[in-house]
Structure 1
Amino acid sequence: MEKSMFRNIRVASLLVAALACAHPAYAVDPVKIGFITTLSTPAGYIGEDERDGFNLAVTQGGGKLGGVPVELVVEDDGLKPANAKQSADRMVQSGIRLYSGVNFSNVLAAVVPSVVEAQNFYVSLNPGPSNFAGASCNRNYFVASYQNDAFHTAGGVAANELGYKRVVVLAPNYQAGRDALAGFKRTYKGQVLAEIYTKLDQSDFSVELARIRSLAPDAVYQFHPGGAGINFAKQYANAGLSKTIPMVMPGFSMDSRMLAATGAASEGAYTTGIWSVAMDNKASQQFVEAFKKAYGRIPTDYAMQAYDTAQWIGSGLKAVNGDLTKADAFRVAMRKAEFVSLRGKFRLNTNQHPIQDLYLMRIEKGAGGELAPKVVRKIVSDDKDAYADQCKMPS
């Protein structure tokens, strides 16, 4: 009887071992992802699209990314860096090791140090400030979207190709705004008549519009995300400037939600970007339809970037079976970036920011009369940001 008992124990042990080999064990608890984003203020719709785009990938995976169960821990930063830092510090103390969600560079600057100093990981789904791309880069900080200058250096190329010799440039006076105009000027070959900085939460642009009218440029290049961009576009059109002075802007200064809010104000304007809802790409088209079915609205670029971020994170989690204590292996997998990006080509530069193509688009009416950015042509191939050489990335 004793021999029979030991034989049964041995058989059971072998069965457990065989099952473990056939099905790699994931952590019993889901991997928590700290998702700090802006859900209130006029810019709150951006955070909503980011959250929903990320959640769509999780839902399609049956509550998993890369086959690993995940739990999104969402907090609203209210577009206040101090709020975001408090959330990040609290999440770090609770043991969360993986973060994303922030959509403004000034807020990101308050969150990333808390995360990476604790040896945790941050994957940015939108902002890519120049300092974190250069001298302050970190091996635990990855960017899924772009370095902040990218759309704007493409904007300078676009203005050159469109023949605009004299321009006025405008942006909010914060890190991303300063990066924006620096990026535009890096590639623009004409004359900048005026460089105007506005407030991040500004709603009345009458003074700036009067100055634009008096300068009579060939075109305006402006970067204003969210509610500020909606107000700027409406007031620009109401002042009659859209009929006489063409506008060029990054895609996130006139996304689908902003188009719905501004009506025909931006018809005919040019945008630059890495993606469009009208892009002829099977994976992208499937995403657009799935997002519309799930949430009843057209996804913005922010939603696309969040979906890509989730899929990319999934590739990293899969490589370590959800065990983020295997930090080196997670970094290696993230650097490989083995996922299907909705924008097409995607690979990482040495500073862990994307190398990707950028496009010139024009806001036009579709077959159903709705306005959308239609791709005119690719204007930059395999774009690399200007700060990678300043990044001394440890292995």
Structure 2
Amino acid sequence: MVRNMIRGGLCALLFAGAGAAQAQAPVKIGFITTLSTPAGYIGEDERDGFSLAIKQGGGKLGGVPVELVVEDDALKPANAKQAVDRMLQSGIKLYTGVNFSNVLAAVAPSVLRDGAYYVSLNAGPSTFAGEKCDKNYFVASFQNDAYHSAGGAAANELGYKRVVLLAPNYQAGRDALAGFKRTYKGEVVAEIYTKLDQSDFSVEMARVRSLAPDAIYQFHPGGAGINFAKQYANAGLTKTIPMLMPSFSMDGRMLAASGASAEGLYTVGMWTTEMDNPQSSAFVKAFTEAYGRKPTDYGMQAYDTALLIASALKAVNGDLSKGDAFRAALAKADFQTLRGKFRFDTNRHPVQDYYLMRIERSGNGFAPKIVRKVVTDGRDAYVGQCKG
């Protein structure tokens, strides 16, 4: 009898040990982003913001061990498509990381066809916000148009009657100008589309000067945005034709590169390193200590995305086969966002506030300071088209 009790006890311990080992198997998260090219710093901030949340959780999100599998898409949709196909074949069921909308267009369909989950930390193309929305596709950042609709509202408040619009000719650029025009009440003098990898904007500068608008609204992320801002200042246009832009066209890295030429410019966004809430302040401090630089909006969004995913992983104890429960937990968005307020609309895109900000001196550099809120509980224009 004693022998049977010992044997039973050993079996119980073995089963318990096996269960513990199984519970500790990490959930792999496919993280495809842009780490090379002049826009590579964007992916670096996204990777680092997401990784910071994992580090703070002791290698876990929501108490669930995770493994981040990172690939560089080099801003090439074909590279991203090959990367996601490899990851899907290896069994990865949860993805994030893509920064550019044209790259996401190559990644998301493969993920969704496989029944896997995609949670966007930046790109929010209109394509997937309306008729092509999917129950496994969530956007933790913004819908592209919505960000720029806030730009149109800001231009109205600033009293700009005649505006020239500029953006690169790809999905997010077209969404940007469509979103601006949706709310802007003045005259759009011209729409100028540039190349995604363009570095010389002298022709565009000359055209802006000849059109003599009240202001320009421009969207150029990454290295292109740095070149645009510098050339605009060097051409003397900042003194005569004000520039309004989304925060992605003058993020922290771009501010450091642009220097005093950015002072006084207006941006529109949902967050700034100067935002006065304890969660945001703690994040900025932790990120700066961990990586030796202040985070950009991209880093903030990635951190928020990690917290969102953590809340859902916790709800299902890391079991992604519990699809309904995992989706419901994501939709609940039960996490403390750094931007102050966040909830999902029925198309699984955010409902959130946007602010008009002005670039001002801050310490040894420059930072966007909030002037006032321009959009409260902003929704995107495509939510009514989403039936799924």
Match of 1:375 in 2: 370
Match of 2:384 in 1: 389
* 2:5 partner letter: R
Q: Conserved in 2, the CA contact under 8 Å of 1:27 and 1:323?
A: no
Match of 2:123 in 1: 127
Report the 3-state secondary structure (helix = DSSP H, G, I; strand = E; otherwise coil) of the residue aligned with 1:376. Answer: strand
Partners of 2:214 and 2:158 lie apart in 1 by 10
* 1:387 partner letter: Y
- Number of residue equivalences: 388
Matches within 5 A, 1:313-332: 313-332=309-328
1:36-86 per-residue CA deviation (whole Å, 9 max, x = no partner) reads 000000000000000000000000000000001111110000000000000
1:4-42 per-residue CA deviation (whole Å, 9 max, x = no partner) reads 223334556677899999xx8863421111100000000
Matches within 5 A, 1:154-165: 154-165=150-161
Correspondent of 1:73 among 69, 73, 88: 69
Identity of aligned residues (%): 73
* 1:206 partner letter: S
Matches within 5 A, 1:353-372: 353-366=349-362, 368-372=363-367
Q: Conserved in 1, the CA contact under 8 Å of 2:259 and 2:365?
A: no
1:178-202 per-residue CA deviation (whole Å, 9 max, x = no partner) reads 0000000000000000000000000
Match of 2:178 in 1: 182
Correspondent of 1:117 among 113, 119, 128: 113
Match of 1:173 in 2: 169
Partners of 1:26 and 1:358 lie apart in 2 by 43
Q: Conserved in 2, the CA contact under 8 Å of 1:26 and 1:321?
A: no
1:198-236 per-residue CA deviation (whole Å, 9 max, x = no partner) reads 000001111111010011100000000001100000000
Report the 3-state secondary structure (helix = DSSP H, G, I; strand = E; otherwise coil) of the residue aligned with 2:271. Answer: coil
CA shift at 1:342, angstroms?
Answer: 0.4
Given the superposition, is the C-alpha separation of residues 216 and 324 from structure 1 closer, same or farther in structure 2, using an over 3 Å criterion?
A: same
* 1:390 partner letter: Q
Match of 1:303 in 2: 299
Matches within 5 A, 1:202-281: 202-281=198-277
Correspondent of 2:6 among 5, 8, 12: 8
* 1:7 partner letter: M
Given the superposition, is the C-alpha separation of residues 6 and 344 from structure 1 closer, same or farther in structure 2, using an over 3 Å criterion?
A: same
Structure 1 residues without counterparts, runs of 5 or longer = none
CA shift at 1:320, angstroms?
Answer: 1.0
Given the superposition, is the C-alpha separation of residues 87 and 19 from structure 1 closer, same or farther in structure 2, using an over 3 Å criterion?
A: closer
Correspondent of 2:334 among 328, 338, 359: 338
Given the superposition, is the C-alpha separation of residues 350 and 26 from structure 1 closer, same or farther in structure 2, using an over 3 Å criterion?
A: farther
Partners of 1:5 and 1:350 lie apart in 2 by 60
Q: Give the structure-2-normalised TM-score.
A: 0.97
CA shift at 1:329, angstroms?
Answer: 1.1
Report the 3-state secondary structure (helix = DSSP H, G, I; strand = E; otherwise coil) of the residue aligned with 1:385. Answer: coil
Partners of 2:22 and 2:226 lie apart in 1 by 45
Correspondent of 1:48 among 38, 41, 44: 44
Partners of 1:30 and 1:16 lie apart in 2 by 21
Match of 1:60 in 2: 56
Report the 3-state secondary structure (helix = DSSP H, G, I; strand = E; otherwise coil) of the residue aligned with 2:135. Answer: coil
* 2:191 partner letter: E
Q: Conserved in 1, the CA contact under 8 Å of 2:148 and 2:177?
A: yes
CA shift at 1:328, angstroms?
Answer: 1.3
Report the 3-state secondary structure (helix = DSSP H, G, I; strand = E; otherwise coil) of the residue aligned with 2:355. Answer: strand
Structure 1 stretches of at least 4 aligned residues deviating more than 4 Å after TM superposition? 9-21
Partners of 2:345 and 2:318 lie apart in 1 by 25
Partners of 2:133 and 2:96 lie apart in 1 by 16
Report the 3-state secondary structure (helix = DSSP H, G, I; strand = E; otherwise coil) of the residue aligned with 1:149. Answer: helix
1:195 and 2:191 equivalent? yes
Q: Conserved in 2, the CA contact under 8 Å of 1:361 and 1:377?
A: yes
Q: Conserved in 2, the CA contact under 8 Å of 1:26 and 1:68?
A: no
* 1:67 partner letter: G
Deviates more, 1:3-12 or 1:351-360: 3-12
Report the 3-state secondary structure (helix = DSSP H, G, I; strand = E; otherwise coil) of the residue aligned with 2:173. Answer: helix
Partners of 1:369 and 1:18 lie apart in 2 by 56
Q: Give the structure-1-normalised TM-score.
A: 0.95
Report the 3-state secondary structure (helix = DSSP H, G, I; strand = E; otherwise coil) of the residue aligned with 2:177. Answer: helix
* 1:61 partner letter: G
Structure 2 residues without counterparts, runs of 5 or longer = none
